Amino acid sequence: MGHWCRICDRNRANEKFSAKGRKNHICKDCAKKPKEEIEIIDQEQEIFRYLQQSNISAKNLSRLERLTKSQNQRIAELATIVLEVGRIKPNKRQRLKFLAKEHRELLQELDDAGLIMAHDW
Ligand SMILES: [Zn+2]
């Protein structure tokens, strides 16, 4: 049946995983990547997850604040946008509609950063 790798985000054959890799959802190929690279991918997915949650908590916001200071420009950028969204509209319900009405530029930034998809509308 294979196993899912969280880093390359796909199902791979069982033999592509060590026992430890299976547990951590990381295949042998990805496990060879530099630690920083793995960390960046994890952080990017983490930021995307905050937007999918029904609510962005205060704890999430302080985590995002830390991520805005990332050495990685993409992570810092994504975190800055999602942090702003979380402050303005932590609750996911009607968020995009609200942003479209009241915070058009922020919605545009979300879109430009690839943080929202057409089907989110
Ligand atoms: Zn992988």
pLDDT tens per residue across span 38-71: 999 999 999 999 999 999 999 999 999 999 999 9
The model's pTM: 0.87
CA of 98 to the centre of ligand 1 (A): 37
CA of 15 to the centre of ligand 1 (A): 12
CA of 33 to the centre of ligand 1 (A): 9
Closest by CA to 4, choosing from 24, 19, 33, is 24
CA of 76 to the centre of ligand 1 (A): 24
The three-class DSSP label of residue 84 is: helix
CA of 49 to the centre of ligand 1 (A): 19
Measured distance between the N- and C-terminal CA atoms of the chain, rounded to whole angstroms? 34
Q: Which helix (H) or strand (E) holds 4?
A: strand 3-5
Q: Answer whether residue 16 shows pLDDT above 90.
A: yes
User: Would you give the DSSP letter of residue 56?
Assistant: -
